[in-house]
Amino acid sequence: MMTRLTDDIVEKIIGSLDGKNEALISQTGMGILDLAYDAVGIAPDKIDLRGVKVAAVPVTSGLGVIKKFSESVAEIVRKLGMEAFVTESADVTGLAEALSAGADIVFMADDIKFIALNIRAGRFSNNSFATAAGYVSALKGAAEGLAGKDVLVLGAGRVGSIAAELMAGMGACVTVYDIDEKKVKDLSDKTDIKRAEDAGAALSAHTLVLNASPAAIDGRCVKEGTIFSSPGLPFPFDGLGMKKARMIIHDPLDIGVAVMAVQSASFSRRP
């Protein structure tokens, strides 16, 4: 079960976007749009985001709508230079409204999946891949490259396992910890990824960490000067961990949505 955003976390997103973009530039050398291009692996001049029309459709299934979730998605997308709106209606009626309004891309999330569907291309971007790729790019930027470097991934769920494979593919020496060792075994059988026996010991031995786990991080185990690229929710750091970390890159939704929007738009890229 993926970690679910709460109303109060989402409420804070819209007003914080500009400040967080400045922070991201100082942390990684990239603003959120450049980071999204990097994560998708597309050069900015190969795609024109202006005029791309994006609809965010609220979905009431399962645990229902999260207040301001769709509005936050639309605002994050507008900051990338695309046009974005939230449909009046939810669910199927909302989807019909988006299509009638000529949306090129539709964002929708239930409690299991969060996708950005490119209508004409008939292809979609998935939040798990987009979040993994976005936070890998962030770590790569902050570390000035990952090739040949030791990187620890906490959590072998959908985001952590994709991130581990992406970084192994970049030549990083990846170690993964998950409380469920079977998840890591599946991963290490497929790749040259190593399995950590103990989270604390692994943290004490790494200064590059991608945290994609919902578990708290014990500051006593954090190595001084560690760079954390940390999509994990809820925010896992205690005061000691925040003091010892050189940098913590974290947001509840922004980077994942930005990568989804650029990746989904790239499906329509002119040849």
Sheet (strand 227-229) strand order: 194-195, 173-177, 150-154, 208-211, 227-229, 247-249
134 binds ligand 2YC (CB under 6 A): no
- Cβ closest to ligand 2YC, residue 11 vs residue 110: 110
Q: What is the largest CA-CA distance in the chain?
A: 55
Going by the DSSP 8-state scheme, the letter that residue 217 receives in this structure is B
Tokens matching residue 190: 């497929």
127 binds ligand 2YC (CB under 6 A): yes
Contact letters for ligand 2YC, residues 54-73 (x by CB under 6 A)? ----xx-----xx--xx---
- Cβ closest to ligand 2YC, residue 114 vs residue 124: 114
Contact letters for ligand 2YC, residues 12-51 (x by CB under 6 A)? ----------------------------------------
How many residues form the binding site for ligand 2YC (CB under 6 A)? 16
CB of 264 to ligand 2YC, least distance (A): 15
Spatial contact of 11 and 68, defined as CB atoms under 8 Å apart: yes
Contact letters for ligand 2YC, residues 74-93 (x by CB under 6 A)? --------------------
Site for ligand 2YC in 197-236 (CB under 6 A): 233
CB of 64 to ligand 2YC, least distance (A): 7
Per CB under 6 A, the list member of 7, 22, 48, 111 interacting with ligand 2YC is 111
- Cβ closest to ligand 2YC, residue 59 vs residue 227: 59
Tokens matching residue 90: 């939810």
The C-alpha atoms of residue 208 and residue 69 are separated, in whole angstroms, by 31
Helices (H), the chain: 7-11, 13-28, 32-40, 69-78, 91-100, 127-143, 158-169, 181-190, 199-204, 239-244, 254-266
5 binds ligand 2YC (CB under 6 A): yes
For residues 124, 130, 133, 135, the Cα torsion angle rounded to the nearest 10 degrees is 170
How many CB atoms within 10 Å of residue 106?
22
- Cβ closest to ligand 2YC, residue 117 vs residue 222: 117
Sheet (strand 114-118) strand order: 83-86, 53-57, 105-109, 114-118, 123-126
Residues that bind ligand 2YC (CB under 6 A): 2, 4-5, 58-59, 65-66, 69-70, 109-111, 114, 127, 233, 253
